[in-house]
Amino acid sequence: MLITDKMKQFIFITFTLFTLGFSLTEKRVVEIQFDQLFQLQQLVEMGIDLDHHRTLTEVHAFVTDAEFKQIQQMGFEIKEIPNQAKLYFEELKKSPLGSANPMEDYHDYNELTAFMQDIANSYPDITRLESIGQSVQGRELWVMEISDNPGVNELEPEFKYVANMHGDETVGRELSLYLIEWLVDSYGNDPRATDLINNTDIFIMPTMNPDGFENGSRYNAHGTDLNRDFPDQFSDPNNSTLGREPETRAVMEWSWGHNFVLSANMHTGALVANYPYDGPSSGVYSACPDDELFIHISLAYADAHPNMESGGFSNGITNGAQWYSISGGMQDWNYIWEGDCDITLEQNEVKWPNSNQLAGLWEEHREPMLVYLEEVHDGVRGIITDEDSGEPLSANISVQGIDHDILPDPENGDYYRMLTPGTYTITAQAFGYLPQSETVTVPLSGYVEQNFQLNVDPWLSEADIEDFEIGVFSDLGWSFSGNANWQTDNSEVFEGNYSGKSGSIDDNEQSTVSITLDVVEDGQIS
């Protein structure tokens, strides 16, 4: 067994800019003509921020002056076009300062904060308001939890909506507030709302990028596109917050503290439900192991909308990469690293529509948002425990034929595996326990319950185990080499109190921990 840890360290040079606004110049919105899809991929690989408008011959994008010239020099036909979202934002800002609402029917940061606080104060039994962090400019990243027992980790699935990660894509920001208000006002009066709140732990984040909204910009206050800032399986497979924006770090750490089963992030600029994978190549369908499931839940949203197909996509849905690829998107990160099925909802072709359209957009999207939320209750669910003690276990839940495992909630041992209707073989496997498999049939609607009670593997009593729990490497004969030794550490662990950790290394350095085992008969090394 050989474990090698290589790390690259980067030098960051920080320039202090004496400005009270955004630290970087706003990028230009352009239209770029292309002949072949491989040319579109060239733009992606350059790091160009492609926008939602994409046909077989043209794409819209955000570029710097230097990128504009570079694209020209590569032979593309490129021209600047109006940034309609920014123009409408500027019109809103011209409203008299003394008016009741300078942002008309849109909630600015202060109004959104007051709205959320008022809901929390008015409905303390079913809501809990928290800030999961702060933006670059110090604005709170508000999340509203709606549950019959807010703040309690119950035996029920956790769901989340995130909106406004692009600051100039605003519809989802308002729809989030409308949904919050509808749920709490309807609780106890509407059976549907009551059932959702009693049986689901619902989290709604109306704005991931409050700075971008306040400045009429797609980007955060560091000029970063937050939907390009997450770990990416194809280009940045390091599930770490190191070097990421504060808004991204906040969402990642918040997600690590929960066991989200289903989620969606709300955008505008198109009308379509977009599902993983988002990479690696533009124009090429990139199916994840749960492709059938993602098509199913995307169609659930699109079919509930009165005219989703009017956005120009077949059935109102699209695979992300087949549309255009991105690197560092949130939906792929949620699925790959969190086991959370996440899609991107493009809810209006105009990014920042006139505020007099918001009521109509709510009427169009209310039913799809509720239908999609209800999808979290389809599939297989249950509890995984030690048969002798009854204590919850951390076990991989695998489905035969689908190469994507999930984990249960570590506190209660409850798991929720979303699946389309059909018959499946489900296996629960935990270290030190005998695996257990069961065949289940998922109904057309709703879920089937399948609990697992695992028995300790008798091999465990005879095995030599290194779990680092004595605070040092054991006497199994570990060898260390390279530029730094390994050591035990209790600052970051998967389970228990300790883990093995490499010492600090620099670029082009390595540290190695290895062990030589003399295997004299059949057995297991794991």
Kindly list the catalytic residues.
346
Query: Is-contact 408 415, C-beta < 8 A?
Result: yes
Closest CA relative to residue 171, chosen from 342, 330, 355: 355
Cis status of the peptide bond prior to 280, with omega within 30 of 0: yes
Closest CA relative to residue 359, chosen from 174, 130, 168: 174
How far is residue 305's CA from residue 297's CA, in Å, rounded to a whole number? Answer: 13
Closest CA relative to residue 343, chosen from 362, 323, 357: 323
Position 487, amino acid: Q
How far is residue 197's CA from residue 199's CA, in Å, rounded to a whole number? Answer: 6
3-state secondary structure 11-44: CCCCCCCCCCCCCCCCCEEEEEECCCHHHHHHHH
Which DSSP string corresponds to 175-218? HHHHHHHHHHHHTTTSHHHHHHHHH-EEEEES-S-HHHHHTT-S
**CA dihedral sign of residues 227, 230, 236, 237:** negative
3-state secondary structure 430-490: CCCECCEEEEEEECCCCEEECCEEECECHHHHHCCCCCCCCCCCCCCCEEEEECCCEEEEC
How far is residue 14's CA from residue 154's CA, in Å, rounded to a whole number? Answer: 45
Residue with the two structure tokens 């709490």: 184
CA dist list (Å): 304 to 86, 155, 299, 343, 367:
31, 28, 8, 16, 6
Kindly provide the b/e burial profile for residues 42-78, where b requires at least 16 CB atoms within 10 angstroms of the residue's own CB.
bbbeeebbbbbbbeeeebbbbbbeebbeebeeeebeb
| Three-class SS state of 279 | coil
How far is residue 159's CA from residue 254's CA, in Å, rounded to a whole number? Answer: 13
Query: Is-contact 59 51, C-beta < 8 A?
Result: yes
Cβ partners under 8 Å of residue 56, min gap 6: none
